[in-house]
Amino acid sequence: MNINDIVEKYIGVPFKEHGRDIKGVDCFGLILLIYKELGYKIDDYQYKPDWFKGDYNLFLENYHKYAERIEKPEPGDAILLSKNSESPTHIGVYLGNGKFIHCLKKYGVIISRLNQEPFKSRTEGFFRLKKE
């Protein structure tokens, strides 16, 4: 199945903290939905809204269980970004051609370009899900 066919239905879904369905998602909820359709199982995590303000990093502490860091992304790979801190606090799915889908509190699910600010300077890395 083509990643772009899967993500089309999520564009415009509103932001919802801890949202995990088509009625509303946060950035991690969007990842869970997309990867589920691609046949991957990723555990959901309980976290506080301000988890990124402490020493614990949800993504870096957990994502290695499912994915490995890569240098050259392909469509379907995850992208980690920093929003307002030094460690990754935001996640999306790379779609190819420098575009990625993600969910922002202000806009909901959108497609953005990696070569535009603020994302250009906030990209922390790309990750590919491991085959089970």
Q: What is the pLDDT of residues 98-110, one digit of tens each?
A: 999 999 999 999 9
Say how far residue 6 (Cα) sits from the centre of its chain: 14
| Domain range for 91 | 3-129
Q: What's the confidence (pLDDT) of residue 89?
A: 78
Let me know: does 91 contact 80? Beta carbons within 8 Å.
Answer: yes
The secondary structure of 19-61 as a DSSP string is -EETTEE-HHHHHHHHHHHTT---------TTGGGSS--HHHH
> Each residue of 1-54: pLDDT tens digit?
789 889 999 999 999 998 999 999 999 899 999 999 999 888 787 666 665 565
Specify the number of domains making up the chain: 1
**And the tokens for 24?**
């509303």
Q: Which of 102-106, 107-111, 112-116, 119-123 has the lowest average pLDDT? A: 119-123
Instruction: Answer yes or no: is pLDDT of 60 > 80.
Output: no
Q: Domain holding 28: CATH number?
A: 3.90.1720.10
Q: What is the DSSP letter of 81?
A: E
Q: What's the confidence (pLDDT) of residue 95?
A: 97
> Each residue of 73-96: pLDDT tens digit?
999 999 988 866 667 778 999 999
Q: Please calculate the CA angle 109-17-127 and round it to the nearest 5 degrees.
A: 60
CA distance 2 to 90: 23
Let me know: does 91 contact 28? Beta carbons within 8 Å.
Answer: yes
